[in-house]
């Protein structure tokens, strides 16, 4: 299982790649492995405002439906349209081509309450 060091994480298995006042968000390798084959991803429209901790999208595998939660309070500036026709990118490249949304932070200290890679690894161990 891959958990890159340079990302932030949530206990709900989202990852956050920060860059200045923006970030890219997706679900982790652990999450995609637990879900199995992803067949559908529902994402918000550009411009949507997200509240930290609230569901902003849905990822469906053949057998399950799971919410995706906003790791931070933010505005959606870009959505990965490739996932409409290739939802399997979430399985094959969760931290790369399987990214879901790009956001602009709406509050300061966005990394507050997010997990480091080391903390997230501990989290996953408990759930395996």
Q: Which residues bind other proteins (CB under 8 A)?
A: 34, 36-37, 39-40, 42, 58, 60-63, 65, 84, 127
CB of 29 to other proteins, least distance (A): 14
DSSP at 26: E
Task: Please enumerate in sequence order all residues whose Cβ is within 8 A of that of 20, keeping only pairs 6 or more positions apart, or say none.
Answer: none
Q: Which is nearer to other proteins, 31 or 103 (CB)?
A: 31
Q: Which is nearer to other proteins, 23 or 43 (CB)?
A: 43
60-95: b (≥16 Cβ within 10 Å) or e? bbeeeebebbbbbbbebeebbeebeeebbbbbeebb
CB of 107 to other proteins, least distance (A): 27
- Asked whether the beta carbons of 74 and 104 are under 8 A apart, the reply is yes
Strand pairing report for 55-61 and 8-9: unpaired
CB of 88 to other proteins, least distance (A): 8
Q: Which is nearer to other proteins, 30 or 110 (CB)?
A: 30
CB of 73 to other proteins, least distance (A): 22
Q: Which is nearer to other proteins, 1 or 65 (CB)?
A: 65
């Amino acid at each position: 299982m891959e958990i890159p060091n340079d990302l932030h994480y949530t206990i709900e298995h989202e990852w956050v790649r920060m860059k200045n006042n923006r970030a890219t968000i997706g679900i982790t390798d652990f999450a995609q492995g637990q879900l199995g084959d992803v067949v559908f991803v529902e994402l918000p429209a550009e411009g949507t405002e997200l509240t930290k901790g609230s569901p902003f999208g849905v990822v469906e595998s053949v057998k399950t439906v799971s919410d995706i939660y906003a790791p931070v309070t933010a505005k959606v500036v870009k959505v990965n349209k490739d996932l409409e026709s290739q939802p399997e990118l979430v399985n094959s490249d969760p931290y790369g081509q399987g990214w879901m949304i790009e956001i602009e932070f709406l509050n300061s200290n966005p990394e507050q309450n997010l997990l480091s890679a080391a903390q997230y690894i501990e989290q996953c161990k408990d759930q395996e």
